[in-house]
Amino acid sequence: MNGLSPTLSRGIARVTGAALGPYQSAVIRIGFAGTWLLFLLREFPHRRELYGPSGPWGWQLAKDLTDDNHAFSALLWSRGVTWFECFYLLAILASAALLLGWRTRTASVLFMVGVLSLQNRSVFMGDGGDNVLHLMSFYLLFTRCGQVWSLDARRRARGEAARERDERVPADRVGPVLWAVLGAALVTVTLTGRFTSGPLIPVLLWTVWVALGAWWLVQHRAKSAQPRILVDVIANVLHNGALMVIMAEACLIYATAGWYKIQGSRWQDGTAVYYPLHLNYFSPWPALADLMSSSGTIMMVVAYGTVLVQVAFPFTLFNRRAKNVLLVLMMTEHAVIAIVLGLPFFSLAMIAADAVFLPTSFLRRVGDLAARARGRVARRGDPAVPGPRSPEESTVGRVGAA
């Protein structure tokens, strides 16, 4: 027992003392927000047919379904075209804000509301990628996913640098304004009885709104350090727990998919991949599909390899090298699916989910390369702009927490 106490103490200190996986949480934030943003922009010309008043799944049908299953959708608060257009635009803006890491906490709330509302408005428009995005939008709400690679981190780093130089840091005016606007919206929706779904989403939104207000007050008005330490510990525990849930969810997706495939006769004889390649709906490049399916050996290797990778992946987490190899194979598989079967958004969502397992050293190198490339582009446009002088300076927003 005495030998376990120091280990347990170190574990508790690690979980409560910092938000783990800052680069992993940032890359899944960018991945899922970017995937949803690209989807919304891609379907912008067809938005009314997919989720709006011109679609075959009418407003009343959607209302009856959500009344039965208690799903949340803000699009059912009004039949009007104006409300739909404004909400679709809000979903685009929220996705862009989360992608850039601008006011990440507020953006993550609006991102979740946008995803749930649009997907629950027309439930038959989704696929496996939409299901993953549906879940991850909820989990991201509890993460501190703006610690790095975000405008929030850049703003925090500039504030800390200004304080070190004994310069005056401008007061935060945007945060209180956003909080007041969201509070007014919540009060209006609650008093008008628009929350017809189950209690989860209303309680969650009110809890988040109160928590954001309390966080701002503690960070800007607390006279001692203890309240700030306490709220940091709570935020770290929520972040680390949510990150573990995201990892477990990704493992569960692959494990269940792999074990269900094992039970299928087409996967057992190695012919399962052949059939979707010859469906018109999944054949954007018929010549490429024909080329791949012309070899029975290739079809068998792809089918057996897919099952093997999916079943084995959760067990490889105990071995870093094996995990990284299978991670490359799975991401490559999803990239091939995006091209050959014409499912880009499904593949992007799955690649974003896989990214939570990427090594920190690899992500930091990618960030440094991106920063150097951005610096070169900036210097070409303006010779007076200096490039990054050190690895610490090259990664935007490495200092500071969201």
Query: Which of 339, 357, 375 represents a domain boundary (last residue)?
Result: 357
DSSP track, 133-158: HHHHHHHGGGS-TTSSSSHHHHHHHH
291 and 340 part of one domain:
yes
Query: Which of 325, 342, 357 represents a domain boundary (last residue)?
Result: 357
130 and 235 part of one domain:
yes
What average pLDDT score do residues 238-243 get? Answer: 96
125 and 213 part of one domain:
yes
- 15 in a domain, yes or no? no
185 and 312 part of one domain:
no
40 and 181 part of one domain:
yes
% the chain with pLDDT above 90: 66
| 391 has pLDDT over 50 | no
Is residue 296 within 8 A of residue 273, CB to CB? The reply is: no
- 367 in a domain, yes or no? no
SS (H, E, C) 232-296: HHHHHHHHHHHHHHHHHHHHHHHHHHHHHHHCCHHHHCCCCCCCHHHCHHHCCCHHHHHHHHCCH
Is residue 264 within 8 A of residue 272, CB to CB? The reply is: yes
- 373 in a domain, yes or no? no
- 60 in a domain, yes or no? yes
% the chain with pLDDT above 70: 94
Please tell me the total count of domains within the chain: 2
Long-range CB pairs of 40-47 (<8 Å, 24+ gap) are: 40/88, 40/91, 40/92, 40/95, 41/92, 42/345, 44/88, 47/84, 47/88
pLDDT digits (tens, 9 = 90+) for 17-72: 889 999 999 999 999 999 999 999 999 999 999 999 888 999 999 999 998 999 99
| 399 has pLDDT over 60 | no
316 and 223 part of one domain:
no
Q: What is the pLDDT, as a whole number, of residue 392?
A: 40
- 279 in a domain, yes or no? yes
Is residue 19 within 8 A of residue 401, CB to CB? The reply is: yes
How confident is the prediction for the chain on average, in pLDDT? 89
pLDDT digits (tens, 9 = 90+) for 184-238: 999 999 999 888 878 889 999 999 999 999 999 998 888 888 889 999 999 999 9
272 and 239 part of one domain:
no
Give the separation between CA 51 and CA 116, rounded to whole angstroms: 12
Q: What is the pLDDT, as a whole number, of residue 386?
A: 54
266 and 200 part of one domain:
no
- 211 in a domain, yes or no? yes
Tokens of 189: 């929706």
pLDDT digits (tens, 9 = 90+) for 138-190: 999 999 999 999 999 999 999 899 888 888 888 888 999 999 999 999 999 99
Give 272: exposed, middle or buried? Use CB within 10 Å, 0-12, 13-18, 19+. Answer: buried
Give 289: exposed, middle or buried? Use CB within 10 Å, 0-12, 13-18, 19+. Answer: buried
Amino acid sitting at position 39: F
Dihedral class, residue 342 (left if φ above 0, else alpha if ψ from -120 to 50, else beta): left
pLDDT digits (tens, 9 = 90+) for 295-311: 889 899 999 999 999 99
141 and 38 part of one domain:
yes
76 and 105 part of one domain:
yes
Give the separation between CA 251 and CA 246, rounded to whole angstroms: 9
Q: What is the pLDDT, as a whole number, of residue 301?
A: 92
Give the separation between CA 267 and CA 323, rounded to whole angstroms: 24
What is the domain extent for residue 182? 20-156+172-251
